Chains A and B, each alone.
Chain A
C-alpha cells in the first residue's frame, strides 16, 4: 500500500493490521514517550489547506516519535493563499524530497488528485478532504472502540454504534461507516433528514430519526460536530431545536447501557450537539481519542513508509 486516501484502500485484514500495530506502539509508549529510529531520514510534509488542531499536531507528533523530519505548512502564510495551484505546490514538495504528504483540503477528492496525477513520488495520506473522507480519524475511532468494547477480539463484530448529527458534511461519518461496517459492527446513523446526504440508503448502515429510541441499544455513541462553516442553507430551524432532538445531554446519557461510551472527533460545540457535562463525564473517551490518534497515525506512517511494497501481514 502506498497511499491512504480512503477506507476503501484497506481490506479488513489491512485495517486490523494497522490497529494491531497501533496497539503494540501504544504499549511501547506506555508511561514514557519513546523516540523510535524507524523513519530516520524520511521527510513528511503536513500540507494543511484547512484549519486543524488535533489532526495536524497528531500527525506531527506521530512522525517525530518515529524520528522523521516534519515540515508543516498551512494555507495561511504560504503561497496557497496567493492562489498557487495544488500541482505547483506538489511539485515544490517533490523537489524538496518529501517522502510523504499528509494533506487536509477543503475540496473533496484533493488527496485522490494528488495521488493519481503522480506529481510527486511519495505517499499521500488523506487527513480530511472536504466532506468526503478522513480515514485516519476512522481508524483511531475503531481503535478506541476496540480497546474499550472489543473483549479481546481483533474486529468489532457484534457491536452496535450510533453516529449522530451532521452526517451530510461529515467526512468522519463517511469513513467511520465504511470502516466500522467492514470490521463487523452495526452502524446506525441518526440525523435530521436535511443533514443526511443523497444516496445514504446505499451506505452499509441503518438510519433513524429518533435518537431516544436508539440510545439504550448501542455500545457507543459518536457525536458529530455541526459544521456551521459548511452550511450554506438552513438545515434546521434553530440550534435550540437541534439540541433538543439530536443533542446528547445528561438525561439521554443516563439512558445508555452501563458499558456504553461517548465519542466525539472534536472540535466540539459544547451545548449544541453535546452538553458540557456529558463531554466531561466518565463515559466520555473524547480526550483518549486524541491520545490514541497519535499511536494510530504512527501505525499508518509505519505501514506506508517503513518498508518495501508489500502489506503488513503478508510474507
Chain B
C-alpha cells in the first residue's frame, strides 16, 4: 500500500500550516497552540517548533486531552486518560490553535471545545489538522488543512509519526467501496 503522504509531504504541510497560522494571526504573540493527544500533541510540538524558528521567540504550546468530554464513551471500552498541559500563560483572551492529526466526524473537536470552555475563554479558537478525510457529522470545519484526502467511510486513515511509530507517513487502509 502506497503512502498518501510521505515524510517529506508531512514536513512541507506542517511548515505551510505554521506560516498560514502566523499570517492569519499577524504573528505569534497571542497564540496558544494546543495538541489533542496522542498524535495531535506531537504535531502541535512540531508546529510550535517551526513557528519558534520563524518568529525567533517561544510559542506557548501544550496539550488538551478530551477523553472525559467525549460523547461516545459508552460505545467503546474505557479509554486511557492522556495528559493535559495548559501553558502558564493560559488561554484566556488568546488565539487558541487546536491541532489534531485527522479530522473525520468532528466529534473530537466538539469535545475539545467543551474541554476548552472549562479552562477559560479564548478570543478565537482555530483548528489545524494534518488530514481532512471528510464525512463530518457536525457543523465543524478546519481553518488549516495539511491535505484533503477523500475517503470512503469503510476505509481508515492511519497517521504514523516518528515520535511514536518510528516513521512519518499517512496511509489509507481498506478498499474504497
**Residues in chain A within 8 A of chain B (CB atoms):** 17, 20-21, 24-25, 27-28, 34-38, 66, 302-303, 306-314
Whether, in the assembled complex, B78 has its beta carbon less than 8 Å from a beta carbon of chain A, the answer is yes
How many of chain B's residues have a CB under 8 angstroms from any CB in A?
A: 17
Contacts of B154 in A (CB 8 A): none
Given A20-B81, A34-B118, A306-B73, list of 10 further CB < 8 A pairs? A17-B80, A21-B80, A24-B82, A28-B84, A35-B118, A38-B69, A66-B68, A307-B78, A307-B79, A312-B78
Whether, in the assembled complex, B77 has its beta carbon less than 8 Å from a beta carbon of chain A, the answer is yes
* Contact call B77/A310, Cβ cutoff below 8 A: yes
How far in angstroms is the closest Cβ of chain B from A296?
Answer: 13
CA distance in complex: A303, B118 (Å): 22
Annotate B55-66 by CB proximity to A: 1 below 8 A, 0 otherwise: 000000000010
* Contact call A25/B118, Cβ cutoff below 8 A: no
* Contact call A37/B75, Cβ cutoff below 8 A: no
* Contact call B73/A307, Cβ cutoff below 8 A: yes
- A24-B65, A24-B83, A27-B83 are contacts. A37–B114 as well, Cβ < 8 Å? yes
Whether, in the assembled complex, B26 has its beta carbon less than 8 Å from a beta carbon of chain A, the answer is no
Among B65, B76, B80, B114, max chain A CB count under 10 A is at B80
Residue in A closest to B72 when the chains form the complex, CB atoms: A307
**Residues in chain B within 8 A of chain A (CB atoms):** 65, 68-69, 73-84, 114, 118
* Contact call B69/A302, Cβ cutoff below 8 A: no
* Contact call A310/B80, Cβ cutoff below 8 A: no
CA distance in complex: A66, B68 (Å): 9
Among A21, A27, A302, A307, max chain B CB count under 10 A is at A307
Contacts of B83 in A (CB 8 A): 24, 27
Contacts of B78 in A (CB 8 A): 302-303, 306-308, 310-312
Chain A interface helix/strand/loop/mixed: loop
Contacts of A36 in B (CB 8 A): 68-69, 118
How far in angstroms is the closest Cβ of chain B from A260?
Answer: 29
CA distance in complex: A306, B79 (Å): 9
* Contact call A24/B76, Cβ cutoff below 8 A: no
* Contact call B76/A25, Cβ cutoff below 8 A: no
* Contact call B77/A308, Cβ cutoff below 8 A: yes
* Contact call A312/B76, Cβ cutoff below 8 A: no
Question: Which one, B69, B74, B81, contacts A24 given CB within 8 A?
Answer: B81
- A306-B73, A307-B74, A308-B74 are contacts. A38–B68 as well, Cβ < 8 Å? yes
Per CB-CB distance, the 7 closest pairs between chain A and chain B, nearest first, are A310-B77, A307-B78, A24-B81, A38-B68, A36-B68, A308-B77, A306-B73
Question: Which one, A34, A37, A302, A308, contacts B81 given CB within 8 A?
Answer: A302
Question: Which one, B65, B75, B84, contacts A308 given CB within 8 A?
Answer: B75
Contacts of A66 in B (CB 8 A): 68
Residue in A closest to B84 when the chains form the complex, CB atoms: A28
* Contact call B82/A308, Cβ cutoff below 8 A: no
Contacts of B79 in A (CB 8 A): 307, 312
Question: Which one, B75, B77, B114, contacts A314 given CB within 8 A?
Answer: B77
Residue in A closest to B82 when the chains form the complex, CB atoms: A24
Residue in B closest to A66 when the chains form the complex, CB atoms: B68
* Contact call B69/A307, Cβ cutoff below 8 A: no
How far in angstroms is the closest Cβ of chain B from A28?
Answer: 6
Residue in A closest to B83 when the chains form the complex, CB atoms: A24
Residue in A closest to B78 when the chains form the complex, CB atoms: A307
Contacts of A24 in B (CB 8 A): 65, 81-84
Residue in B closest to A1 when the chains form the complex, CB atoms: B78
Contacts of B76 in A (CB 8 A): 307-308
Contacts of A34 in B (CB 8 A): 118
* Contact call B81/A309, Cβ cutoff below 8 A: no
Contacts of B73 in A (CB 8 A): 38, 306-307
CA distance in complex: A234, B32 (Å): 66
Contacts of A28 in B (CB 8 A): 68, 84
- A38-B73, A308-B74 are contacts. A25–B81 as well, Cβ < 8 Å? yes
